[in-house]
Amino acid sequence: MKSIIKKSLQSLLIVPVLALGVSFAGGVISSPAVQAQAADCTTDPSGGIAGGAGCAKTEDQQTDLFGPTGVFKIVTNVLLFIIGAISVIMLIIGGIRYVISGGDSAAVTSAKNTILYAVVGIVVAILAFALVNFVITSFSASAA
């Protein structure tokens, strides 16, 4: 009972933290004018959060969030690839379990469920990939 209450309180406390993080990210961090203003990090390090972020940024670090080479697209593509790979592996495992079940009805049912859930996982990964790419192209087209 205590663990349920503890988890509930933790989840309730995460919501304001995320909301504050999102609200601060829009107004305080990263405007190109502020980053250009605080570009000289050795003599004037008083650029605030955006100046510190500009000073910490390396040459080859990406700055765009959306678009064809954006950070969001790269992260989601990697995660969706991992989900798809796990689904294919589970499909193979389900097939092997089905072949070696030997007629045992419980083993056959379990193997069929594994195959079914793996196929559902593959379909969800493909649909999520299509949806993410659609949203990213929509955002990058509207921003351009």
Please indicate, yes or no, if residue 33 is contained in any of the structural domains: no
Please indicate, yes or no, if residue 93 is contained in any of the structural domains: yes
Handedness of CA 92, 95, 100, 104 (dihedral sign): positive
Q: Which domain holds residue 83?
A: 62-144
- Work out the average pLDDT over 37-64: 63
Q: Given a cut of 70, is residue 92 above it in pLDDT?
A: yes
Please indicate, yes or no, if residue 138 is contained in any of the structural domains: yes
Give every CB contact of residue 115 below 8 A, 6+ residues apart in sequence: 91, 94, 95, 98
Two tokens at 37?
A: 């203003």
Please indicate, yes or no, if residue 48 is contained in any of the structural domains: no
Share of the chain above pLDDT 90, in %: 24
Please indicate, yes or no, if residue 44 is contained in any of the structural domains: no
**Global confidence as pTM:** 0.52
Q: Residue 72's pLDDT band (boundaries 50, 70, 90)?
A: confident
Work out the number of other CB atoms within 10 angstroms of the CB of residue 9: 10
Return the half-sphere exposure (C-beta side, CA atoms, 13 A cut-off) of residue 120: 6
Tell me how many domains the chain contains. Answer: 1
Please indicate, yes or no, if residue 68 is contained in any of the structural domains: yes
